[in-house]
């Protein structure tokens, strides 16, 4: 059916309590008007003023009412995500539908609600520390990085990925969709003495800037402070400026894992990343790094398809049914 909506897109956001990670248990809401003048022509209108500003809907995709068989109609929202002002991308745990009746919101227990995750990951570049300060933990870090690759490709088979590894030198593995080649490359990495962190991050950004993909993600792991890159060219401020000045409206999204190990993290870096919208985690052990890689693998692409099914009751356009979808999220 023909899509009818008027969307007011505002850049107003709600701040979470934790500046580095999405809050558990947050609930976000989508508001719609729904009418069906003949029983066979359902239409919807988006209420952008009431809908949570973290809800990002791609209106170029399906957003409409549709007829379903001889008895049902449905609301389809084909592509939406929940992203706050710090670029945190939320996982959905459950969605409930409510209808405004008798001056109160009533849960729709007779109608059905379904949501599925869709594909939205284009290119991921993994920047991986292999400096000697990792010591015996380096073999574990390689294992966790390979697990991250498997997780990402299993969830998103169309993804492409590249690798930048660094110590004294910065090396790269070009962007590819061959997961086994990526894992073989990581398996063969060996540690070296120094830490060229910012040069490596800059190279990762450059790889993504050269990619035509709309969704571009940089995931960095390190356990230390840069002690080799030329600070006149390679520093965190220049890296963030390069991302900010990218003409692509879909900016590179950053994830940073800083292991508090022998290398000694630069404490000034995480706040700068957080203030620029990165998701940052500072684990204190190699075992925790595994958990963070798994969590980041879940967070990088949470884009959803929503379907709400109801009957073919005739509803005048002048008195539409008001619907509210409550979306419960988890970390």
**DSSP states along 65-88:** EEEETTTEEEEEEEEEEEB-TT--
Confidence of residue 262 (pLDDT cuts 50, 70, 90): low
* Separation of alpha carbons 146 and 128, rounded Å: 11
Torsions phi, psi for 62 (to 5 deg)? -65, 125
Beta strand pairing status for 216-222 and 253-258? Answer: parallel
Quick: pLDDT tens for 168-205.
999 999 999 999 999 999 999 999 988 899 999 999 99
Architecture of domain 123-299: 3-Layer(aba) Sandwich (3.40)
- How far is CA 47 from its chain centroid? 24
- Is the distance from CB of 186 to CB of 331 less than 8 angstroms? no
pLDDT at 100: 96
Asked whether the predicted pLDDT for residue 263 surpasses 90, the reply is: no
Instruction: Please give the model's pTM, rounded to 2 decimal places.
Output: 0.65
**104 burial class (0-12, 13-18, 19+ CB within 10 angstroms)?**
exposed
Nearest-5° Cα angle at 252, 247 to 256: 150
Name the percent of the chain in helix, strand, coil, to the closest 5: 25, 35, 40
Asked whether the predicted pLDDT for residue 261 surpasses 80, the reply is: no
* Separation of alpha carbons 323 and 101, rounded Å: 10
Confidence of residue 213 (pLDDT cuts 50, 70, 90): confident
- Neighbouring-strand partners of residue 99: 106, 323
Quick: pLDDT tens for 143-153.
999 999 999 99
Closest CA to 28 of 258, 325, 266, 242: 325
Domain ranges of the chain: 27-118+303-330, 123-299
């Amino acid at each position: 059916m023909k899509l009818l909506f008027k969307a007011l897109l505002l850049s107003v956001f709600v701040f979470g309590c934790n500046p580095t990670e999405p809050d558990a248990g947050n609930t976000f809401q989508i508001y719609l008007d729904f009418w069906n003048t003949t029983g066979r022509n359902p239409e919807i209108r988006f209420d952008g003023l009431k809908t949570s500003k973290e809800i990002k809907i791609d209106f170029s995709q399906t957003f409409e009412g549709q007829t379903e068989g001889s008895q049902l109609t449905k609301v389809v929202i084909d592509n939406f995500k929940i992203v706050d002002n710090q670029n945190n991308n939320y996982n959905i745990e459950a969605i409930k539908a409510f209808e405004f009746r008798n001056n109160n919101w009533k849960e729709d227990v007779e109608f059905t609600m379904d949501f599925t995750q869709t594909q939205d990951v284009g290119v991921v570049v993994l920047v991986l520390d292999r400096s000697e300060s990792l010591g015996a933990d380096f073999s574990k870090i390689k294992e966790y990085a390979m697990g991250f690759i498997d997780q990402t490709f299993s969830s998103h088979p169309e993804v492409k990925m590249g690798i930048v590894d660094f110590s004294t030198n910065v090396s790269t593995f070009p962007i590819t969709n061959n997961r086994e080649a990526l894992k073989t490359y990581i398996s063969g990495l060996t540690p070296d003495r120094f830490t060229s962190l910012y040069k490596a991050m800059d190279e990762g950004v450059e790889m993504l800037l050269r990619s035509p993909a709309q969704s571009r993600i940089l995931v960095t792991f390190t356990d230390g402070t840069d002690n080799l890159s030329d600070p006149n060219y390679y520093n965190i401020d220049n890296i963030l400026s390069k991302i900010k000045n990218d003409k692509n409206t879909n900016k590179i999204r950053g994830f940073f894992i800083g292991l508090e190990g022998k290398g000694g993290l630069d404490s000034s870096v995480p706040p700068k990343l957080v203030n620029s919208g990165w998701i940052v985690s500072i684990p204190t052990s190699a075992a925790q790094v595994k958990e963070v890689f798994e969590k980041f693998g879940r967070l990088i692409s949470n884009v959803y398809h929503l379907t709400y099914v109801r009957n073919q009751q005739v509803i005048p356009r002048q008195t539409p049914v008001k619907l509210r979808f409550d979306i419960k999220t988890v970390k």
